[in-house]
Structure 1
C-alpha cells in the first residue's frame, strides 16, 4: 500500500476554480461514510479550506488508484470538469512532506498564519469519527500536528504573522486610509468573521454591523465589539452609510447579488463602497464589480497586500523546513517498522479462525457447558494463541530495519502459507507493497 494525496490550492488554482471544488463539512462526512465504494482506498482524510481542497489516502497502488481518488473528489463536489491543469498529487515521502508543510503553514497564502493547524486537526477529527483512518493516517496526522506545533514553538515563523482576516482589514486600510471615521458590515459570524471584527476594532473602526443567517449569532458577535446586528436577508438595506463590507460566510451560493447592490448604490448617490470577499465559495457575485462605485476584492487579492514582516518569516521558514525534514525522516523510520503489521495481522487472523473453528467443533460435542465454562474456554484458547504467537511477533519486530528483515518476512509467509491470501509477486514486491499499510 502507498500514501497518496491529491488536491488544488491557491498556488495552482484561481478562486473561481477553488470555489467549484470547495467541500462542505457535510459533504466531507457523507463522502467518508461511503469510502468503501471506492476500490483501492482503505483510509482517507479530506482537508478543505478557503485556499485548498486536498485528500490524503492510503491506497493499494498510487499509479492505479490516482484516478479513483480524482473521481472521489468529483463526487464530493458534484463537478467533473477538466481540472488536471490545477491538480497536484504526491506519493509516499512527498505526500508526508507536503502535509507537514501544510500543517506548519509553509504552504499557506499568508506564511506563518495559525488557522491552518486547527483546520488540519478538524479534518483529521472528522475522518476519525467517520472511521476512515487506521494505523497509517493516524500515525501520519498525529505527527503532522506535532510538527506544526514544533515549528511554531522552535521558530519565529508565527511572530507578527497575519491571518486572512488581518490581510483583509489591511487591504481596507490601504484603500480607505485610517478607519477611525469608517464603518463596516460583516457577513458571517464564524471564526473568520470574529477575527475580522477584532482587527477592525484594533484599527479604530467607528462602527461594526454584523449580518448572519442565525440572528442570535450575529447579536452575540456584534455585542462583543459594541456593534449592531442586522437581519441577514436585506442586510444591504442597512449599508447606505457603510464604507466597507467584508463577507465570510459558509454559504454555497452568492449572498450579495447585483440587483440589491444596484439598489444600494442608488441610495448612496455615487459614493463608492469596498467589498472584500474572503469566502470560498465566494459570497459576492462577480457581476457586482461591474456596478459603478463598487470596488470588489476577493481572497486572491490579499496576496498582494504588503506585509512588513514577511522577510523575517521567510528567514524563519528555512529553519522550519529543516524541522520538517527531520520529522519526515523520523516518520519514514516509523513506517518502516509498520511494514510488518499486515503480515502480523494475517498471521493473527489465521490463528483466530483456527481457534474459533476448534471451539465450534468442541462446543457441538459439549452441549451441557454453562455460560461460565464457555467463557473460561474462550479465555483459555485466546491465551494459548497469544502465547504461541508472542515469540514470532517479537522476532519479527526485532528484525525490522535489519539485514534479516526480508528473511523473516519470507520465512513467516512460507511457514504459515500466508501468500495464499491474495498476495502475488516476489517477496520484495510484496514487502514494498505493504510498506505503508494499515493494521
Structure 2
C-alpha cells in the first residue's frame, strides 16, 4: 500500500490543458463516487483549482491503481491527454508536496491565501463522500495546520499579491490610470469580489458587474458603488468598456470571437483589454487575434508577480524548515497508528469485560447508592488502566520497529483478539507509505 499524488499544475501544463482537468464540485463528487468503487483505492482527495488539479490516493497496488487513474484521465481529456503534463510523487515526497501546496510555496503567486481554503474544501468534500480514513484524516488536517503555521510564523504573505490583484496590475500596466477607465467585471464570486476591491483600491471610479444571476451581480455592485448589468446585455456594455476582467464558473467561453468582432466597429477605434483569470477560460483565445484587442489569461500573470520574488524566496526557506519539522512530527504520529487498531481492540475488550463484571456485582448489591456505584466504577476503570499500562507501553515502543509484527501477534494471541487483529487493523498494518 502506498501514498501517491498524481497531478498537473501551472508549472507543467498551460491553461488550455489545465482547464480540461478542472473539476467543479459536482464533477468532483461524481469522480470520487467512481473511485469509491475501485477496490484498489482506499482513500482519495481530489484538489482542483485554477492552477492545479491533483488526486491524492492511498493505493493497495500502486501500478494497477495508477493505470486505472490514467485511463480515467484519458477518458476525461481525450486526445489532449499527455503523460508529460503530469507529475507523480509517492510517500514522503507526496507529503512534502502537499505541505508546500498548503503553505502556498508551490503556487503561481507565493504567499497567496486562497489555496488553504481550497485544500480544506477538497478534503471535507472527499470526507463527506466517504473517501478518507485514518491516514488522510491525519494527513490533511496536518497539512492545513502547516499552512496556517507558515502564514503565522513567516512573512510569506506580507504584502501578498493574488491572482485578482495581479490581474488589476496587469491592466494598469497597459492603461496606466484606472480613474478614467470604464471597467466591466464578469462573475460575482469570491474572485470577482477581490478583483473589484483591488480595482477600487487602485483608483477605479466606474465598475459594472454582470453575472448569470442578476441578484448576485447587484449584491456585488452595491458593495463598490458599481452598476449591475443583466447577463444577456453584458456584450452591449462591452462596447463602451476599456477593460473587461472575467472570472465566471462557466464551463464554456462566455466571450466569443464573433461576439467581439461584432462590437469592434461600434467602439470608434478605442482599444479593448480583456483579462481572463477563469479556469476553464471565459474568453475564446481567438479574440486575442482581433486588431485593437489585447487578451491576457491567467498564465500571463507570472511576470506581474515577480516584484516580491526575492523577499518571498528568503521567507520560503523559513517555511521549508517548518515543513521539515512537521514531516518529522507526522512520521512519528503515524508510527503509532500501526499499533493503534490492536490497542483499541484490547482496550475495548477489557472495558467490555469490566462492564460485564460490574453489572453482575451491582445486581448482587441492589442497595448501593449512586455515589457508591460511581466510586466502584471509577475504581474498576483505574484497575483496567493499570492492567493495560504495560502491554500498551510495549506496543507503543514496538510500533514502527522490527519487533512490531511479533508484538502485535503476541498481544492478539495472549488476549484472544480476533484474527490477529485484522478486523480492527484493516489496512493500517501496512504503513509503508514512506517508501
Distance 2:103 2:124 in 1: 18
Distance in 1 (CA, whole Å) between partners of 2:340 and 2:80 is 39
Q: How far off is 1:42 after superposition?
A: 1.0
The answer as to 2:430 corresponding to 1:433 is: yes
Residue in structure 2 matched with residue 254 of structure 1 by the alignment = 253
What residue is the counterpart of 1:364 in the other structure?
none
* Distance in 2 between residues matched to 1:219 and 1:71, nearest whole Å: 44
CA distance in 2, matches of 1:421, 1:136: 17
Contact 1:40 1:60 in 2 (8 A): yes
Return 87-96 or 29-38, whichever deviates more. Answer: 29-38
Shift of 1:341: 4.0
* 1:369-384 equivalence runs, <5 A: none
Question: Which blocks of at least 5 consecutive residues in structure 2 are unaligned?
Answer: 354-379
- Structure 1 stretch 47-56 or stretch 328-337: which is displaced more? 328-337
Q: 1:271 to 1:300 in 2, by over 3 A?
A: same
1:295 is aligned to: 294
Whole-Å separation in 2 of the counterparts to 1:271 and 1:81: 37
- Please list, as runs of the form range in 1=range in 2, the aligned pairs for 1:175-254 lying within 5 A after superposition: 175-254=174-253
Hey, what's the Cα distance between the residues in 2 that align with 1:149 and 1:32? 27
Root-mean-square deviation (CA), in Å?
Answer: 3.0
Q: Does 1:174 align with 2:173?
A: yes
TM-superposed deviation, 1:157: 0.3
Q: Distance in 2 between matches of 1:112 and 1:258?
A: 35
C-alpha contact (below 8 Å) 1:39/1:68 kept by paired residues: no
Q: Which residue of 2 aligns with 1:367?
A: none
TM superposition shift of 1:346: 8.5
Change (3 A) 1:100 1:181: same
CA contact (8 A) 1:40 1:61 kept: yes
In the aligned structure 2, how far is the partner of 1:208 from the partner of 1:339? Answer: 57
Shift of 1:345: 7.6
Change (3 A) 1:28 1:431: closer
Name the CA shift for 1:141/1:91 in 2 (closer, same or farther; >3 Å).
same
Is 1:59 aligned with 2:65?
no
Which residue matches 1:378?
Answer: none
Other-structure match for 1:36: 36
Aligned to 1:6: 6
Number of residues of Structure 1 aligned to a counterpart in Structure 2: 400
2:126 counterpart residue number? 127
* 1:271 counterpart SS class: coil
Maintained 8 Å contact 1:21/1:79 = no
Supply the distance in 2 between the matched residues of 1:12 and 1:281 (Cα, whole angstroms): 17
Residue 68 (str. 1) matches residue 68 (str. 2): yes
User: Which residue pairs with 2:269 in the alignment?
Assistant: 270
Q: Say whether residues 1:339 and 2:349 are aligned partners.
A: no
CA distance 1:118–1:315, change in 2 (3 Å): same
Matched residues in 2 for 1:21 and 1:131: separation?
22
The residue aligned with 1:377 is none
State the shift of 1:418 in Å. 3.6
- 1:73 and 1:329 mapped to 2: Cα distance? 33
Q: CA deviation at 1:393?
A: 5.5
Structure 1 residue 232: Cα displacement: 1.3
Task: State how far apart, in whole Å, the 2-side matches of 1:252 and 1:346 are.
Answer: 49
- Aligned equivalents of 1:150, 1:80: Cα separation in 2: 42
Task: Give the secondary-structure state (helix, strand or coil) at the position aligned to 1:283.
Answer: coil
- In 1, the alpha carbon distance for the partners of 2:81 and 2:288 equals 27
Is 2:245–2:276's contact at 8 Å kept on the other side of the alignment? yes
Distance 1:292 1:165, change over 3 A: same
1:5 counterpart SS class? strand
Q: Shift of the alpha carbon at 1:178? A: 1.4
Q: 1:399 to 1:419 in 2, by over 3 A?
A: closer
| 2:84 alignment partner, SS class | coil
2:250/2:280 contact within 8 Å kept: yes
How many Å apart are 1:403 and its aligned residue? 5.8
Residue 70 of structure 1 deviates from its aligned partner by 2.8
Cα distance change on mapping 1:257 and 1:128 into 2, 3 Å:
same
For 1:111, the equivalent position in structure 2 comes to 110
Q: State TM-score, norm by structure 2.
A: 0.84
Distance in 2 between the 1:186 and 1:24 partners?
Answer: 21
The 1:343/1:80 distance shift into structure 2, 3 A limit, reads farther
Q: 1:319 to 1:125 in 2, by over 3 A?
A: same
